[in-house]
Structure 1
């Protein structure tokens, strides 16, 4: 039968060839259309970032190289001055003091906020009655506007009628209350203390969330090997919490470097520039001296300080992880 079919010039019908889904030329228009749709969904987010983040940053950088004053708003002219704004602000007699105060303020605030926030987070890791209510109360300083909190603390730290000095003067070994906000040696310490109070809720909340993600099985296995208490924290809690610690410290430094309202509400940079920071100096240069170019240059100095800290800390943290 097969020979007869071959001799007759006929052959069995071939099986139909089916194209693979997504293969060949038919799949390309679908992929291109999908990519086009994805790009269209990204356009609003990209425009938002460029408009509200990219443009202010670029404008601030451009202003720092211009003689941008109140006259510019009327004439529209802002002559290019190169790096003169940076030279003027860096060589000013207040800049060295403001830079030192900024470093001390940032280090003191970050250390206090992180240590106390971590201690409180570890405390609330234990379950006890009303723990949820107490965690909610600790969040109150974070919810209160900073300028309002600063006004309350200014009343508390007042040398004559402040609550803190009234309590201290009631003690038998205290003759007179300290001049918290008017002493050149105590004003920066007082401001750091207030900023620590404002930043504890943020650190506690983020670190507490990180602690909740650590599996309990690790602690149970550690108890079998004798890792309890400090050993459990060193070998289990801290390594597992390190990514969260990185986020908290980097964000904390960025937020602390640009603190303005706390200083304005408590000391306004005084006394004798003892609490003057680069952020307050930038505000004073821009909105009191109306030298917007110099204020923009000081703002860019803050950005550079933030980037330097972030890069250095991330490199050290990467080395620690690799080791």
Structure 2
């Protein structure tokens, strides 16, 4: 009899991308598997691009909302699916309540926030053995204490060429020139955001080299996108807030290169197998690297980083302020050799 598994998915876009290798591994282990994912609405466009996921279920609960009665009702709806197992990726207590209420017989996840009674296949996390988030996710596909098979395959998101062209046409984008994606936002906080003036200078260099520059992000990033577009003298088109995640996936898929802060869209670009320059300040590529063979990480590796803080504890954010555009331009040239014909443009 084929197995039916539910995954309680992550809340962040980047983490949702990094969960895909887990889904692939579950299919390897359980031929004929029917895999469902319970996830927040903003991550559902990602799941639609993952062929491993048979069905997604909306997680309507935001951060900090306990709402036990509503959780019970949602759990009873999920119970009708008769899952054999649930794998809980978030480490919170709340994320393990619905699987218990749904009566799913095997409940797998890492210990955390007093979840002993909620998970009956609870694992202890060895952070040194599993330093990367993608490894921690994939380990939950294995039997308890079984070694993690390596190497772990990179995430892959699918795109459709006809849909990509339609989205570009609707937004009036110039596709006659090669395009570069800039992702200047970072949901976690300012300590992960490269300054707008640096992005603007880089945009001018790409424009001088014959490239269009498209800025991607949510409506929260519109202001910084407007600033980059203004400082770049119109070299960048601000699409922050003008596209949903699904359209952003399509358009990034049309670009030749992406330059991204450590953000959800960085992981999207990596999963689209785009040449990628990833900018790290307060965070660490040791924990959440871009999962791609065509990525270059730029980091100053200052003594005070990574601090993993939302805002710089010292108030200067030197880890990003002192990361000069020329460093990123050189990394871009290494990934796109054609740019070497424009070494001194600024």
Q: TM-score range by the shorter chain?
A: under 0.3
Q: Which is strand-richer, 1 or 2?
A: 2
Q: Which is helix-richer, 1 or 2?
A: 1
Ranked by relative contact order (alpha carbons within 8 Å, sequence separation 6 or more), the top structure is: 1
TM-score (ref. length: structure 2) = 0.23
